[in-house]
Amino acid sequence: MSEPKLPLSQTTKELAEASPGVRRMFERGRELAARYGADAIADLSLGNPDLPVPGELTRALVEVAREARHGYLPNAGLPELRELLAARAVRESRRRVTAAGVVITVGAAGGLAVVLRALLDPGDEVILFSPYFSEYPIYVALAGGRTVVAEGDREHLPDPEALRAAITPRTRAVILDNPNNPSGSLADAGRLAELAAILDVAEQPIWLISDEPYADIVFDGLETPAVLDAFSNVIVVRSWSKTLSIPGERIGAVLVPSDTAAWSELMANIVFANRALGFVHAPAIWQRVLARVPDLAVDPAPYQRRRDRLLQLVRAAGLDVVTPRGAFYLFPAVPGDDQVFAERAAALRLLVVPGSSFGRPGHVRMAYCVADEVIERAGDSLARLMR
Ligand SMILES: Cc1ncc(COP(=O)(O)O)c(C=O)c1O
């Protein structure tokens, strides 16, 4: 006899069951910390930035709190902040961006949900390069779309040939995250130009969605290349979660240059989706705070130092790893099955996330936005595991 059908969404249930990924390791870390004490484990499972928030941000927050203005805002966000972000995009690129092309969102996650809802009809396809941020396929599915994966290259960079092969008449968008979570790889302007050349000759307009929460966290004197200059039909999704170490505050933005395909209809869809998905608008207090300090960012130097140390430890343990140029993740190749490797690491109190969660098995992700001593403990566990 078949099971009675539960009175709830099977689609949501199946998606949740198929995507335990990062959060499961995070829960596992909490269990281990409760059992052995937080000082005895090395939890590299979650990208929760640990650098202190800049003092200037806290001062702006206190000032805004004193104003005690807590009413609704326009769905697209606070006009002053939208103006400031448009002006910055104009300064940093050759594109025309106006305040009407900027919508403030509930983090990059909220921005992506809104953009996908604005673009997709059921069955439309979205191309992801592997390794990809593990939440993307969920956002695509919840917006009614279908994920198509294009293999990244050996350095975990988006591969132009794989992109060409993945395009079909149903392709509506491609998501790029540069620098990349989970690998920290950074595509340069040349690589972006190669990808753009392929999208430009596609039969139908294809949107490049540039998800850039780590755009301000790059190392070795490099800069994140400007996607606004590279792609014609481009939607930028930004976030202050990592830029200012405030992921709990849920604030980000979507930005679309005014010379893109169907711009005014697209902006109307994005603003409507921001309202209709139940966000209404992004948190008012943070919009007012950011309007006071729009260019503030944490100094990424401590992340670079930790990257260097963890690279040393991982290579000393005998693992192969591409040197990350940004974000705060290392993505070494591991022997055997990545899920088994992650389980064995957890038994030695080291928490990492299997690469299969990011569409690239045979690797694990290590988040190094943690204290130096946690990195040292991780190195000890890794050396024992590899022995
Ligand atoms: C690649 C990527 N995109 C989006 C997000 C979501 O960011 P936010 O906190 O701004 O919603 C994250 C968070 O880790 C991420 O790594």
Q: Give yes or no for residue 324 having a pLDDT over 70.
A: yes
Mean pLDDT of 201-230: 96
| pLDDT score at 160 | 98
Name all residues whose Cβ lies below 6 A of ligand 1. 47, 107-109, 133, 177, 181, 211, 213, 239, 241, 247, 252
Confidence of residue 29 (pLDDT cuts 50, 70, 90): confident
pLDDT higher at 178 or 26: 178
Q: How far apart are CA 272 and CA 265, in angstroms?
A: 10
Q: In angstroms, what is the span from residue 211 Cα to ligand 1's centroid? A: 8
Q: In angstroms, what is the span from residue 188 Cα to ligand 1's centroid? A: 21
User: Which atom number of ligand 1 is nearest to the Cα of residue 133?
Assistant: 1
Q: In angstroms, what is the span from residue 213 Cα to ligand 1's centroid? A: 6
Q: How far apart are CA 112 and CA 142, in angstroms?
A: 11
User: Which residue ranges form the domains of the chain, and what is each CATH number?
Assistant: 10-53+299-386 (3.90.1150.10), 70-292 (3.40.640.10)
DSSP string, 73-116: --TT--HHHHHHHHHHHHHHSSS---GGGEEEESHHHHHHHHHH
Give the residue among 100, 231, 91 at the shortest CA–CA distance from 174.
231
Contacts of 330 (CB under 8 A, 6+ apart): 184, 307, 310, 311, 314, 321, 324, 365, 366, 368
Protein residue with least CA distance to atom 7, ligand 1: 108
Q: In angstroms, what is the span from residue 5 Cα to ligand 1's centroid? A: 34
Mean pLDDT of 16-27: 74
Confirm if 333 and 131 have CB atoms less than 8 A apart.
no
Q: How far apart are CA 337 and CA 351, in angstroms?
A: 16
| pLDDT score at 27 | 79
Q: Count of alpha carbons within 13 Å of 343, Cβ hemisphere only?
A: 5
Q: Give yes or no for residue 1 having a pLDDT over 60.
A: no
